[in-house]
């Protein structure tokens, strides 16, 4: 089911969490936090919207990381009903796409609920104080790549890194609904 995310609630504080990474290590929001901001991307392996943009996400993540923005991806789908999203397949997906950021498993879906994540991909861009500054799309791509699309997420998060503020005008992300239990 195709869904769109709500618009940005500027300044909303990121709820803390602790999740496991693909090596079964505990990772907290505090341990992820970037000097100039933090980007959390709710994604999964099987969604055609994520598959279309994952290489751009990885590319943009590298640029953001070089500019003091921490990046992490969170998988919240019920992988028992969607085995392509299993922890084993998360490892494969991350390796195939060269993730330079943690890919975290939200086993009980509590983090997705705390953040009111609704779809994959769903992006939450926070400033250095963990106040929300971006809740928009990666770019104009949907389940199909839009060639030479403006890098909206990257631009927004670079603005956050440089000045602490996201853009006034943001276009909601769209994708497949999170697969709730």
Digit-coded pLDDT (tens) for 76-94: 999 999 999 999 999 999 9
Q: Where are the alpha helices (DSSP H) in the chain?
A: 29-32, 48-66, 87-97, 110-115, 152-163
**Percent with pLDDT over 70 in the chain:** 98
Mean pLDDT over each residue of the chain, to the nearest integer:
96
Pairing of strands 26-28, 37-42: unpaired
Mean local confidence (pLDDT), 99-121: 98
Q: What is the pLDDT of residue 18?
A: 98
Q: Is 89 exposed, middle or buried (0-12, 13-18, 19+ CB in 10 A)?
A: middle
pLDDT at 1 over 60: no
Look at residue 3 in the predicted model and tell me its pLDDT.
Answer: 62
Q: Which two tokens stand for residue 101?
A: 């950021």
Under 8 Å between Cβ of 44 and 120? yes
Class of domain 2-177: alpha beta
Q: How far is residue 10's CA from residue 87's CA, in Å, rounded to a whole number?
A: 33
Digit-coded pLDDT (tens) for 6-35: 789 999 999 999 999 999 999 999 999 999
């Amino acid at each position: 089911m195709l869904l769109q995310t709500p618009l940005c609630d500027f300044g909303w504080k990121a709820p803390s969490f602790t999740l496991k990474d693909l090596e079964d290590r505990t990772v907290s929001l505090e341990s992820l936090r970037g000097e100039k901001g933090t980007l959390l991307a709710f994604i999964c392996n099987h969604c055609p919207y994520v598959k279309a943009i994952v290489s751009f996400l990885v590319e943009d993540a590298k640029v953001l990381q070089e500019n003091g923005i921490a990046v992490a991806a969170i998988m919240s789908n019920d992988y028992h009903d969607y085995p392509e999203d299993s922890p084993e397949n998360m490892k494969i997906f991350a390796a195939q796409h060269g993730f330079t950021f943690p890919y975290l498993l939200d086993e009980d879906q509590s983090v997705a609920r705390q953040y009111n994540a609704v779809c994959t991909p769903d992006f939450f861009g926070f400033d250095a104080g963990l106040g929300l500054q971006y809740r928009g799309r990666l770019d104009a791509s949907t389940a199909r790549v839009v060639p030479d699309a403006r890098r909206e997420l990257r631009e927004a998060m670079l603005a956050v890194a440089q000045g602490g503020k996201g853009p006034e005008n943001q276009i909601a992300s769209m994708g497949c609904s999170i697969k709730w239990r």
